[in-house]
């Protein structure tokens, strides 16, 4: 039993679009006002405002003359946005995310409806205060016996409407066991290199539409702010971005599904993508490859289908390590193959070699545990299994620790 979201595109009528746009506008207003109130309370009085207090503020806002329009939409999405704000602050205080940001109209919007605010019956969905069901394109139906617990309506910047139905008691059939195991090395030229010797070429969806996007953005920059022509140009840019995103997501879903179906164990590197995109020369290529999205898909698909995903420590020298155990000191990115002076192996492909070492390290982690690094020594923040990422000391802290160990006692 697990949770699964089914996402569909729908085409609202004029009345439904008017109501949904007003609902999203109210959600955005309540979220921003609550965020401003919590920020002001912290900086002025050093007080933390919680969900209960913001809910009380919402009740008072509805009673004012200027905000009477908040009563015209369903109250459920307004309460849900306050819960989302509470969760955002919880993640911030726990240092899992940055400080919450204000919502902007140009980013579209979303509204979440719980069971009290929608009705689902015989393949039709009615939202609160909507007389007619939504005109949904049912690309796939929800399995029989499953009822959605929440419904999220989203308007993309490109103008497309989507509805996401979250099903709680969804059961996925576990795939039959297989003896095949694989290691994956993520890259830019080759999106994935496998331990079997296969290299999957990176489609580079952004580069395919880069010239078209550049021309559209140039046209947008020349329009007068607030004009109707600027809105048309903005939609044109947003639609190109939507094409890039759809192509990238579709390719990754097909790739990860194939890998999960054919392998019982998948070993990958626990890459810090957020830190890697700080490199200005590689940021665009890394973002276009979407390593984070690929890892997320592998995680939940392995959990669904009964496969095992092992994450290897990001500092493990997978590319520099030969199969004989020799580790080369330096291996720049422009060097794609190298020769081992120990076993005299010539022309070692760094990507395929890294994938093989990642698989061997993953098998070692399963046998020895997550606290043992594949090169036979324990380390703080070593490899993690099934997404458990331990805390790692910074390089400065490691240097200080080493200096203390080297110093002799007086």
Catalytic residues: 185, 269, 351
Identify the H or E element spanning 310: strand 308-312
CA distances to 188, 202, 387 from 289, in Å: 7, 7, 20
- HSE of 300, CA atoms in CB hemisphere, 13 A: 11
Beta strands in 71-155 (DSSP E): 109-113, 118-121, 124-127, 148-155
Query: What are the phi and psi torsion angles at 11 (to 5°)?
Result: -120, 100
Query: What are the phi and psi torsion angles at 405 (to 5°)?
Result: -70, -35
3-class state of residue 348 by DSSP: strand
Residue pair 362/265 in contact (Cβ under 8 Å)? The answer is yes
Q: How far is CA 380 from the centre of its chain?
A: 26
Residue carrying the six token digits 């004029």: 14
- Pairing between strand 181-186 and 190-194? antiparallel
Helix (H) and strand (E) counts for the chain? 11, 16
Give the N- to C-terminal CA distance of the chain in Å, as an integer: 62
Query: What are the phi and psi torsion angles at 72 (to 5°)?
Result: -80, -15
Residue pair 223/298 in contact (Cβ under 8 Å)? The answer is no
């Amino acid at each position: 039993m697990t949770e699964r979201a089914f996402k569909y595109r729908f085409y609202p009528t004029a009345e439904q679009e008017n109501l949904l746009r007003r609902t999203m506008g109210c959600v955005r207003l309540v979220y921003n006002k609550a965020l401003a109130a919590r920020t002001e309370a912290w900086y002025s009085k050093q007080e933390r405002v919680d969900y209960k207090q913001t809910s009380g503020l919402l009740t008072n806002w509805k009673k004012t003359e200027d905000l009477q329009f908040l009563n015209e939409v369903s109250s459920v999405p307004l309460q849900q946005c306050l819960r989302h704000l509470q969760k955002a602050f919880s993640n911030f205080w726990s240092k899992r995310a940055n400080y919450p940001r204000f919502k902007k109209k140009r980013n579209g919007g979303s509204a979440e409806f719980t069971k009290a605010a929608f009705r689902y019956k015989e393949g039709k969905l009615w939202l609160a205060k909507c007389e007619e069901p939504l005109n949904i394109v049912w690309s796939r139906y929800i399995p029989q016996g499953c009822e959605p617990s929440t419904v999220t309506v989203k308007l993309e910047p490109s103008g497309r409407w989507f509805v996401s139905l979250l099903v709680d008691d969804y059961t996925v059939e576990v795939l039959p066991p297989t003896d095949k195991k694989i290691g994956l090395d993520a890259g830019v030229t080759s999106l994935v290199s496998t331990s079997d010797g296969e290299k999957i070429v990176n489609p580079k969806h952004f580069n395919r539409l880069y010239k078209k996007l550049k021309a559209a953005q140039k046209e947008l920059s020349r329009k007068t702010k607030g004009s109707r022509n600027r809105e048309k140009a903005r939609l044109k840019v947003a639609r190109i971005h939507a094409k890039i995103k759809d192509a990238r997501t579709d390719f990754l879903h097909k790739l990860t599904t194939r890998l999960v179906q054919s392998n019982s164990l998948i070993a990958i590197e626990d890459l810090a993508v957020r830190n890697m995109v700080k490199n200005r020369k590689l940021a665009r290529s890394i973002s276009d490859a979407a390593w984070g999205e690929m890892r997320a898909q592998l995680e939940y698909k392995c959990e669904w289908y009964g496969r095992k995903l092992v994450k290897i420590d990001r500092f493990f020298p997978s590319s520099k390590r030969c199969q004989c155990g020799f580790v080369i000191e330096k291996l720049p990115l422009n060097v794609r193959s190298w020769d081992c002076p120990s076993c005299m192996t010539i022309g070692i492909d760094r990507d395929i070699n890294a994938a093989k070492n990642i698989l061997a390290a993953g098998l070692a982690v399963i046998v020895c545990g997550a606290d043992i690094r594949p090169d036979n020594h324990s380390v703080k923040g070593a490899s993690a299994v099934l997404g458990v990422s331990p805390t790692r000391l910074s390089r400065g802290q490691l240097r200080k620790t080493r200096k203390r160990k080297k110093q002799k006692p007086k």
